[in-house]
Every structure is written in C-alpha cells, then in structure tokens.
Amino acid sequence: MMKHEKLIRKILLGAIFLFFYFPILYMLVFSFNGSRSLTSFDGFSLQWYEKMFHDANMMEAIYYTLVTAIIATAVSTLVGTITAIGLSKSRRIVRELVTQINNLPIMNPEIVTAVGFMLFYVSLHMEKGFMTMLLAHIAFCIPYVILSIMPKLRSLDDNLAEAAMDLGATPMQALWKVIVPQIMPGIVSGALIAFTMSFDDFTISYFVSGNGVKNISTLVWTMSKRINPSINSLSTIIVLMITVALILVNILPILKERLDQKNKVTSKRVLTIASLCVVLLITGGLAWLKNGAKQTMNRDEAIARFGSDTLKVYNAGEYIDPEINEAFERQFGVKIIYDTFDSNELMYTKLQGGENYDVLIPSDYMIERLIGEDALQKLDHSLLPNMSSLAEGVNHLEYDPDHTYSIPYFWGSVGIVYNKDNVDVEDLEEEGYNILKNQKYRGHIYLYDSERDSFMVALKALGYSMNTESETELEAAYEWLLDVVTTMEPEIVTDEVIDAMINGNKDMAIVYSGDAAYILSQNESMGYYLPAEGTNLWSDSMVIPKNARSPKLAHAYINYILEYENSMKNSQFVGYTSSNGEVVEALSGEEGEFADNEAYLPRLHYDKDEIFHYNSRTKKIISDFWTKVKIAK
C-alpha cells in the first residue's frame, strides 16, 4: 500500500512539474525552429538567435532593461532600508500613517499608477526617456522593499541597538554592524522583489518611457503583432540567465561554508574574486549591448538641410521592414527614434500625455479624429513628389480627400479565412457573415478580439451600415454577436490567429487581409472570402503632428517610404497591400509574389464596402456591448 502511495505522489509531483515547466521547455525547443511557426517544428536552426543579436532594437531593450533594473534595485533597496529602520523608531501614529501611504502603490491598479506618473511628468514638462522610466521604477520598487524589511525589524529586540552602544559602538556602528545584519534576509528579499518588479514591468514602463527607450516587456508587447520567433530566443536566454543565477545563489553559500571551515583567508579571496568576475561580466555585457545598439554618425549636413538630425516615428509594432529605417539613417545621416504602439487608442493616450513625434502612422478613423481636434500639420506636397505613385484604392480617401494631412501607408480589408477542405464555398456565398451561425462549424471558428471589426461583421450580417448611429441597430448587432458566442463556441483571439490558421486549428477566422495573405502563403489549403454584405476597407496613413520638431525631415521620410523599392520591400516584409500603385501591380501581377494570393489585393468600387468613421458616442456603446459579449463567452 505504501509503495502505491509513493508512486501516486511521484506521479502527481511529476504532473505538477510538467504543468509548470512544459511551456518553458516548449518555448526553448521552438527557439531553435527552422521556420516561423510556433506549433510545427521544421528542423533545428540558430537563425532566430542570430536575428536577435543583430536586432539593434532588441539589444537596446535588453540594455535598458538591465541598467534600469540594477540601478532601481540598488537605489530602492538603500532608500527602503533606511526608511524602514527610521519608521521602526518613529511614533506609532507616524509609523501607521506612512505604512498606509506605502501600501497605496502596492494596492493600486498598475494602470492607475502608470497614468499618474505620466501626468506628473507632463505637469513638470519632463521629456520622457530613460530618466523618467528609471525614476518611476525606483518609486514603485521602494514600497516593496519597505514591506519586506518591516517584519524583520518588528521581530528585533528594541534594546538591541542600545545594548551595542552601551558596549562602545557608535550609533552608525550599531546600525551597520548590529541592526543591518539582523535584517539582511529582509533586505535581500526586498532587493530581489525590486529587481523582478523592475525587470518585467510593462504597464508603467509603457506610459513613462519615450524617445526610443524601451525595455524588454514593451518591446515584446509591440512585437506580438506578427509571429516573431526571436521572442522565443530572447525568452530562452533570460530563463537560462535566471537558472544560472539561482544555481549560483544556492551554491555560493555552501562553497563559502566549506572554505570557511578550511581557511577563512582563502574563502574571502575566492568570494572577492568571484564578486569581481560577476561585476566585470555584468559591466562587459552591458557595454557590449550598448555597442550593439544603433550607432549615430556625423549629422552636420542633415542639420543644415533639414534643421534637425533626429526623426521620431510612432508606428504599430512589427509594421515595417527594419532595413528601411536603417537605410534612411545611412542615406540622410540622421538617427531615427522608432517607437511602436499596440493600438490606436494607446497611441492617442500617449499623445494626450504630451509625447511628441515627427511621423505617426495611425488608422483612418483615428486620423479623422486627430484632424477634427486640429492635432495635425498640413503637408507640403512639393516635398512629396512620390505622391504621384499612390494606388487607386487609397487616392482621395473620404476622411482626407486631398491628402491635406495624410499619405497612405498600407491598406486592406477584413474578411474570412477558411479551410477549403472543410468549409463549403457555397455556404460562404449563400450565408456570408451568417456562416458564423451555421451549426455545421460550431467550435471551429475564431473571432478577432476587436470591438470595431466584430461589430462591423454583425452590422453587415444584419444589412446595416458599419457606421450606423442607431442604438437599435447597434443593440441588434450586440444580440447577433451574443448569439454567436453562446451557441457556436468560437474562440476570441488576437494575433495568435495567424499561426493557428496556418496550422489548421480551426476552419474559419475573421482576420485582416494582410494577415490573411500571410496565412494563405504558408498554407495552400486556406482561402480568403469577402462576403457580399460588404466589409471594412481600412487604410493606415502617415501624418505629421502639430508639435513635430522635425517637419522637413518627416516629409523626407514619408517620401522615402513611398519610393518604389522601399514600398516593395515593406509590403513583402509585412504582407499588407502597398500604397504605391506600381508595387501593387508588380506584387499581384502574374509573376508577382502575391499573384495567386486572393487576400493581397483589396476589393475596389464595391458600394457596400465602407471606411470606418470616428464617432465618440457610438464607440462608447460598442465598447460596452463588446465587453458584455466577451463576458458571456
């Protein structure tokens, strides 16, 4: 009986370890995958590690993450320790008041703290960058250090310091030779928590950083738009570093104890040498990372020509071929500070926080909003000769018919990617979007987690305009979506839909045309269908904000993006339809890369296709309804 119990315990323990560590092992294995797939292993390769080490943005992110975490940990541990010791000797009312204040940042939702820091910096007119991020990290780490040390201080005898001074110690000696050693476990715990909190922080870092400064968390977040296996490589290295650190933390005390038993002098020398090696390793690593980041060059000519040698660009994550920015820097002798955002709404929030950029690349409805708020500069068309190459589908768009404020970047549609082996095309043609209610496909559908596009699908399925202002029609669309999620068992996803559909995990998915083009290029069994009820014909465009500091350089950048070769490279890399008409013809023509790809070329001159228009009232209604839909799921 005992043997069976031991066996069961071992099996349970093994299952628990498998549950916790299998995702890490999975990530480690796929960091060596020969393809971009995150689910199908196509042979061993080091290509993603090579790409990671050659990616200047990644190297910069690692550098800033480590430097910020190390400095924030050191400062917050010192300040937190001194504060905790001071509080332990303060009057009870002061101690309790400060303790409650100290707990506020810990109890506060992180988004509230992030916005608070952002507004604080705006009120002081501080330019966001490395220093603002570092100060924010120090501030939110200190409460955790104090919280870790206070229990140790409460457990000490109140007369310990006085006893030390009675024996001849000075107050400083009593503090550092008696009190501090007693509370050292709490200090170490607080320092480790501070380092961890700083190292993996995303929300606060996102709102308080700027000028191209980003940490690993914000970089990975903005890279998640597209499948990027380099993230696996980066994560694997981090896991290995943590594993080595944990091994050292556990081995060094044992080594020290054994050396102490043999020879105390030898022990001190070994530990000193080991400490110096660690410091040199960290210092050398940080220096290497910094040198691996983007290098600047002499920009006197650029300043004379454009009045500036720095261009700040704000674009969606994974939405440009990195070589284009590098080539622009070389050709014009300037430095590009390239920041990325996850959504138009987060971009708008950051702009409202006082952030300034020279070029923004938002979506149509957001541009319409920015124009309405007089937040954009009028473009100088004489500096944009490549405007003449604009494709028919993005020339003279409704929200900016004369391109007074915007120049199209990419464009496309929203449609249904389907598995041609499992989905009957006749069902698609007969039912359109209502195929999402066909019980034949129950449990085999992906919905995209976008309130705007999900309501577009529902409104079109019901025969309404996607820009309707009728609350009755919006409520009917809500009921339609509610019926889909409660009866069809769809999975609501974001960009993981790309890899999932490549591997045929489901039969249908609502996706953007650029993502669909990539899916179709990777899996011949997939097709793309635009329902007859119409769709969202969207476009993302380049604009120059009113507060841009380098408008001339911004015009040069926009014109550069429109050039045939650059537009071609960009479209091939990202997969979305180029705004350059010649590129569209070349890529979708008989010998083009997307010749047989039905998702690449958007549908033109179809009266039921619409451009989404910004409406603050309906946006609020849709947001509330979409939240209810996801809760019902």
From the first residue on, what is the mean pLDDT of each consecutive set of 10 residues in the chain (633 residues)?
70 80 82 74 82 79 89 94 86 83 84 87 84 93 91 79 74 78 87 90 87 82 67 81 74 67 54 52 54 51 81 89 90 89 85 88 95 95 95 91 96 96 93 95 93 95 95 96 94 86 92 92 93 95 94 96 96 93 93 90 92 91 93 79
Number of alpha carbons in the 13 Å side-chain half-sphere of residue 163: 8
CA angle 14, 15, 17 (to 5 degrees): 65
pLDDT of residue 12: 81
pLDDT of residue 275: 53
- Give me the amino acid identity at 332: F
pLDDT of residue 74: 93
pLDDT of residue 387: 94
pLDDT of residue 68: 92
Sheet holding 538-543, edge to edge: 335-341, 310-316, 359-360, 538-543, 406-412, 577-578
pLDDT of residue 224: 62
pLDDT of residue 272: 54
pLDDT of residue 295: 43
Residue 246 to residues 141, 242, 499: CA-CA distances in angstroms? Answer: 21, 6, 34
Interatomic CA distance for residues 516 and 522, integer angstroms: 10
Interatomic CA distance for residues 501 and 178, integer angstroms: 63
pLDDT of residue 260: 62
